[in-house]
Amino acid sequence: MSNIVIVGTQWGDEGKGKIVDLLAEFADIVVRFQGGNNAGHTMVVDGEQFISHLVPSGILQGKMCLLGNGMVVDPEVLLKELDNLNNRGIDVGPDRLKISEKAHIIMPYHKHIDMARENMKGDQKIGTTGRGIGPCYEDKATRRGVRFVDLLDPKEFDEKIKTILEEKNFYLEHYFSAEKLDPAGIIDQYKGYADRLSPHIINISIVMNKAIKENKQILFEGAQGTHLDIDHGTYPFVTSSNTVSGNACCGAGIGPKEITGVVGIVKAYTTRVGSGPFPTELFDEIGDKIQKKGAEFGATTGRKRRCGWLDTVLLRNAARLNGLTGLVITKLDVLDGLEDLKICTGYEYNGKIIRDFPASLKILGSCKPIYEVLPGWPEDISKIRNMEDLPENARHYLNRIEELTETPIDIISVGPGREETILINNPFNLK
């Protein structure tokens, strides 16, 4: 039996949603283990697009979907998502969708603080999604967070909110000159959420470990990407959770020996939303072309994504940090028609060559990419379903990625649709 973790290798939006939806066919359970509705995961099935921010991308395959304890969940957004799925005829009842009782809840003050901080920072802003993610994880770490288990005990919930709001209101009023929040209004609003969500709240670690004993297969769906990881990313221009594969265990409640494979999703070029260094960023017409052809707009905030060449310094870092057993290359079709393609193999810094991703943003910001130039292909590859049918130059590009990352490619994606895929090796089939 196999249990597979899927992670983004770059700065998010690599196409995780499409691949999780595709591989969910072979899983019994799909679980999100970190992040919140800062994520936007797109699935396209029979020409119909679904964007999921909180619900795991296994929901369209009819699988049991779990929201892990490592997540921060905005109940208002979750309920909207559930209503939307329900209206589209997809079962999201308590047997299908379960929320960890230990997952943290995004409260209105988290969103206010996130946005107020960003406004105050001006040019120095992180470019967060404004969804309250950072402030919610901050409260988790400082032990004044609110968890789903608290929703099940209304009396305790009321007291907790009143106590927390004393401090939050002081901060909002005196630091940001913002309006104070009314505890009664929040308590009332969240009681409504509790009424609807209570049947879904459960100990998901027990659910998963029982499933493992019954030889069922689990797919762990990472959000964001390795270089947005709070420890390993381009700090402070990162999100507030661990996005790497190691956190799948902690954020869902299983032991590491259960994980049998880790698949890294790689966009065939690089994109980034928000601020922070990006060595291979393009500021010319090729960057514009990729942005337009790839429809590179954020699925959560609608912001234009910054685009650049593929960076294998980034990918080698991701391969090591996640223990990748395989890669999925997405959006290869977006590169159709480009005369030459560049792959970054290292950085030049102060006359020296760097091959490992630096921790210092000052150094990273001054790094110049060293490129290898490969010939492109003029053909439209979106209809191709076999590796052998790809143009020779496309195969050469893929081989070079495998060589430079020392990781085999399992799947190639040539379009947003579930079927627009070339399957080389199914990660659920143990090698």
Q: Does the protein bind ligand GDP through residue 14 (CB under 6 A)?
A: yes
Where would I find the beta strands (DSSP E) of 159-280?
Answer: 201-202, 218-221, 261-267, 270-272
Q: Does the protein bind Mg ion through residue 40 (CB under 5 A)?
A: yes
Q: Is residue 13 annotated as part of the catalytic site, yes or no?
A: yes
CA distance linking residue 242 with residue 222, whole number of Å: 10
Least Cβ distance, residue 142 to ligand GDP (angstroms): 29
Our CB check for ligand GDP shows the closer of 167 and 419 to be: 419
Count of chain residues binding ligand GDP (CB under 6 A): 21
Q: Is residue 112 annotated as part of the catalytic site, yes or no?
A: no
Strand, coil or helix: what is 235?
coil
Q: Does the protein bind ligand GDP through residue 42 (CB under 6 A)?
A: yes
Distances (CA, A) of 429 to 140, 159, 425, 426: 37, 50, 8, 6
User: Which are the contacts of 311, defined by CB distance < 8 A and separation ≥ 6?
Assistant: 10, 270, 279, 280, 344, 369
For residue 52, what are its two tokens?
């999921």
Binding range to ligand IMO, per CB under 6 A, among 33-41, 159-167, 198-206, 339-347: 33-41
Our CB check for ligand IMO shows the closer of 41 and 342 to be: 41
Q: Does the protein bind ligand IMO through residue 233 (CB under 6 A)?
A: no
Q: Which does residue 416 bind out of ligand IMO, Mg ion, ligand GDP, none, counting CB within 5 to 8 angstroms by kind?
A: ligand GDP
Q: DSSP class of residue 36? A: -
CA distance linking residue 66 with residue 92, whole number of Å: 11
Check 21, 28, 41, 232 and give the catalytic one: 41
User: Which are the contacts of 123, defined by CB distance < 8 A and separation ≥ 6?
Assistant: none
> Which of 24, 116, 429, 305 lies closest to 32 in space, CA to CA?
24
Q: Which does residue 157 bind out of ligand IMO, Mg ion, ligand GDP, none, counting CB within 5 to 8 angstroms by kind?
A: none
Per CB under 6 A, contacts with ligand IMO among 288-327 are 299
Q: Given the rule CB under 6 A, which residues bind ligand GDP?
A: 8, 12-18, 40-42, 44, 299, 330-331, 333-334, 413-416
Q: Given the rule CB under 6 A, which residues bind ligand IMO?
A: 8, 11-13, 38-41, 126-129, 131, 133-134, 223-225, 228, 239-240, 273-274, 299
